[in-house]
Chain A
């Protein structure tokens, strides 16, 4: 086991909304009435069935309620043991599945307000991601503008599987707003299930959906790169969350080869794909899809040809590692510092730089 160092930034924490009704105090009369009179149920996504082993580490599972729903649990289980200074909250509530953009908008606003009141206001180490009603680009931009006034929001959150590939131009106003406010776009595992959760159709099992997240991240990187998002928004960072990263080298070899062959199709892609990845794309550490031997992992880091791509994460409360083994074996002290401190601060500029004590807004 490699020991964590104090002062790290955990880039992938999942505080859970106890229930849809927990949003009632943050909804206006009309939507409060909609939720109650229509008997709406909890918007739990089947990307993470609450009782699935992957959804919560056994010793992080509370006696009752959803894993990740309790602030004290999150701080004592995810922050304290690793000496973490800053933790970024990425709520995974199934708002992306909603079909009505009006409903999605109302719920996203409520969820973001709930995050501020119930989490960010209560522990100065916590930061948040803005959950956007991606069903409407216009409303998403408005929500980014509204939330960006609070400097504790450090990122915009989207899911890796949605209605359209993420590079599509229709989404670009979201990226313009994010770049304008110094907010990276966090792309998290999960689907809105408006398309089959794999590129070859609907599998039979939850395990297939989970494995297929990695392939979805690959197709999204292709889309983002070849549509020219980073030629248009060069200062925009995108962070692949719970994506795995061991697939990156061979994926880029293939993309690079085809880019060389057919770059006449997308002439605005004027840098090699790996250069674009190095300047604009980051990955959360967990899960580490590699065998437990340090030799293999270090060869993979060598294949990645950069020590700036990975950002520390526990993926709390998801079950990615046991005990305190959040860092895989065999990482050098230099790489640990990069992953835990330097890389996150360089990515999340709203954190104010390594070591600085950013005051809550």
Chain B
């Protein structure tokens, strides 16, 4: 991660190798950007009552971020608005100089994790229309994520079916933290519809479901929330495997986004060991858990694991598979990974090509 203060002047140099960026965050200038895609009823509702989330703050996150909007200070568009809210500046600062051939949009603060389910569903539809109108229709390198009202399985499935076959979208977006662990039955209609539509499920770190971010209650600091996302992701993935989601939906592919990948081997080993002892409790889990993970799960790279010794990184990736990693920058967030610096020397050309572009093209079916 690099806290960026780079002047946009050196954006004139274009990287030679094309990349996929599997985690880009387009932002709204304000909620009003969504009004063209929302019924009038909801404009009034939002202005009167706000979002009514599973957390206490009316505005802003419970743990103040390290930088405004958790974004790079050099990413404010010259025409105004928050970081990530201008397509032309995103093109100029990121997509063009970094030679991004495929950019996957993951809109956050969208209405996922709201307690009012009707509002959540209306906002999900609006944000999907907004992605097409403001982003994917204007730059063919960008692909959207189908945002769904995650706590309402039926509404989510309807939204996925509505977008099925629409080439503007390459995945369904869920967040890791929900009212219940992601393997629970209430979320199965989402998986069923995604499998039917041939769309992978991206599970991005973050979200609110009302559960403390540790199993011992709420910690004190932003760093604990940031590190804690990887523990949330581990538990959510364990739930998906142990509830038999990947047995029930055998064609489903899932992507763990922005939660790290270094923990994947140890989690898989632990699951396998414990499953050997306790499999009579979960007879629907027919294979060792590590096999489901190996067959169904992909990982985005940012924030890239960064051990002192690069051989430790390479050994960890060998355990996961070079074919399962998807490069991501997290633009415009502050903990952005710089494409040219993220992978140490010593990687074969084939692995490097897969890591930066090939795996994403294959998974998302973008040639």
Q: Which residues of B contact A167 (CB under 8 A)?
A: 219-220
Q: Which residues of A contact B195 (CB under 8 A)?
A: none
Cross-chain contact B212 with A249 (CB below 8 angstroms): no
Among the 9-residue stretches B18-26, B101-109, B233-241, B323-331, the one with 4 or more Cβ atoms under 8 Å from chain A is B233-241
- Bits for A46-66, please: 1 = Cβ < 8 Å to B, else 0: 000000111000000000000
Q: Is A162 an interface residue (CB 8 A)?
A: yes
Q: Which residues of B contact A53 (CB under 8 A)?
A: 277-278, 280
Cross-chain contact A203 with B176 (CB below 8 angstroms): no
Please give the distance in Å from A196's CB to the nearest CB on chain B. Answer: 5
Please give the distance in Å from A32's CB to the nearest CB on chain B. Answer: 32
Cross-chain contact A203 with B181 (CB below 8 angstroms): yes
Among the 9-residue stretches B138-146, B262-270, B357-365, the one with 4 or more Cβ atoms under 8 Å from chain A is B262-270
Q: Is A22 an interface residue (CB 8 A)?
A: no
Q: Which residues of A contact B280 (CB under 8 A)?
A: 53
Q: Which residues of B contact A214 (CB under 8 A)?
A: 234, 266-267, 270
Q: Is A307 an interface residue (CB 8 A)?
A: no
Among the 9-residue stretches A135-143, A255-263, A342-350, the one with 4 or more Cβ atoms under 8 Å from chain B is A255-263
Interface residue tally for chain B (C-beta within 8 Å) = 69
In the assembly, what is the distance between CA of A190 and CA of B180, in Å?
Answer: 20
Cross-chain contact B274 with A207 (CB below 8 angstroms): yes
Cross-chain contact A195 with B217 (CB below 8 angstroms): yes
Cross-chain contact B224 with A223 (CB below 8 angstroms): yes
Q: Is A265 an interface residue (CB 8 A)?
A: yes
In the assembly, what is the distance between CA of A260 and CA of B304, in Å?
Answer: 14
Cross-chain contact A256 with B236 (CB below 8 angstroms): no
Cross-chain contact B306 with A256 (CB below 8 angstroms): yes
Q: Is B293 an interface residue (CB 8 A)?
A: no
Cross-chain contact B215 with A196 (CB below 8 angstroms): yes
In the assembly, what is the distance between CA of A204 and CA of B244, in Å?
Answer: 12
- Bits for A175-218, please: 1 = Cβ < 8 Å to B, else 0: 00000000000000001000111111111111110111011101
Q: Is A45 an interface residue (CB 8 A)?
A: no
Option from A215, A254, A260, A289 in Cβ contact (under 8 Å) with B260: A254
Cross-chain contact B216 with A164 (CB below 8 angstroms): yes
Please give the distance in Å from A209's CB to the nearest CB on chain B. Answer: 9
Cross-chain contact A289 with B273 (CB below 8 angstroms): yes
In the assembly, what is the distance between CA of A165 and CA of B215, in Å?
Answer: 8
Q: Is B315 an interface residue (CB 8 A)?
A: yes
Option from A200, A204, A227 in Cβ contact (under 8 Å) with B182: A200
Known: A208-B238, A212-B238, A319-B277. A161 touches B215 (CB 8 A): yes
Q: Is A222 an interface residue (CB 8 A)?
A: yes
Interface residues of A in 219-274 (CB under 8 A from B): 219-220, 222-223, 226-227, 244, 246-247, 249-251, 253-262, 264-266
Known: A219-B224, A259-B223. A265 touches B215 (CB 8 A): no
Cross-chain contact A201 with B305 (CB below 8 angstroms): no
In the assembly, what is the distance between CA of A260 and CA of B1, in Å?
Answer: 9
In the assembly, what is the distance between CA of A246 and CA of B319, in Å?
Answer: 13
In the assembly, what is the distance between CA of A265 and CA of B335, in Å?
Answer: 15
Q: Is B256 an interface residue (CB 8 A)?
A: no
Please give the distance in Å from B223's CB to the nearest CB on chain A. Answer: 5
Cross-chain contact B312 with A303 (CB below 8 angstroms): yes
Interface residue tally for chain A (C-beta within 8 Å) = 69
B313 (CB) vs chain A CBs: closest residue? A253
Q: Is B126 an interface residue (CB 8 A)?
A: no
Q: Is A299 an interface residue (CB 8 A)?
A: yes
Cross-chain contact A257 with B221 (CB below 8 angstroms): no
Q: Is B316 an interface residue (CB 8 A)?
A: yes
Please give the distance in Å from B248's CB to the nearest CB on chain A. Answer: 14
Q: Is A287 an interface residue (CB 8 A)?
A: yes
Q: Which residues of A contact B305 (CB under 8 A)?
A: 250, 253-254, 257
B285 (CB) vs chain A CBs: closest residue? A207
B182, B184, B224, B230 interface centre (most CB from chain A within 10 Å): B224
- Bits for B77-117, please: 1 = Cβ < 8 Å to A, else 0: 00000000000000000000000000000000000000000
In the assembly, what is the distance between CA of A226 and CA of B180, in Å?
Answer: 28
Mark B residues whose CB is within 8 Å of A.
1, 3, 66, 176-184, 209, 211-224, 226-228, 230-232, 234-236, 238-239, 242-243, 260, 262-263, 265-267, 269-275, 277-278, 280-282, 303, 305-308, 312, 315-316, 319, 334-335
Chosen A-B contacts, 28 in total, with CB atoms closer than 8 Å, are A191-B215, A196-B211, A197-B215, A198-B181, A198-B211, A199-B212, A199-B214, A200-B235, A201-B211, A207-B274, A208-B242, A211-B238, A212-B235, A216-B216, A218-B231, A249-B312, A250-B262, A253-B306, A254-B230, A254-B262, A258-B335, A262-B66, A262-B222, A264-B66, A289-B266, A289-B269, A290-B266, A303-B315
Mark A residues whose CB is within 8 Å of B.
52-54, 160-168, 191, 195-208, 210-212, 214-216, 218-220, 222-223, 226-227, 244, 246-247, 249-251, 253-262, 264-266, 287, 289-291, 296, 299, 302-303, 305, 319
Query: What 5 A-B pairs come out closest when comparing CB atoms?
Result: A250-B262, A219-B214, A289-B270, A215-B231, A246-B266
Since A198-B181, A200-B211, A226-B224 are in contact, a sample of 11 more A-B pairs with Cβ atoms closer than 8 Å, ordered by chain A residue number, is A199-B177, A203-B183, A214-B267, A216-B231, A219-B215, A219-B216, A222-B219, A226-B223, A246-B269, A251-B263, A296-B319
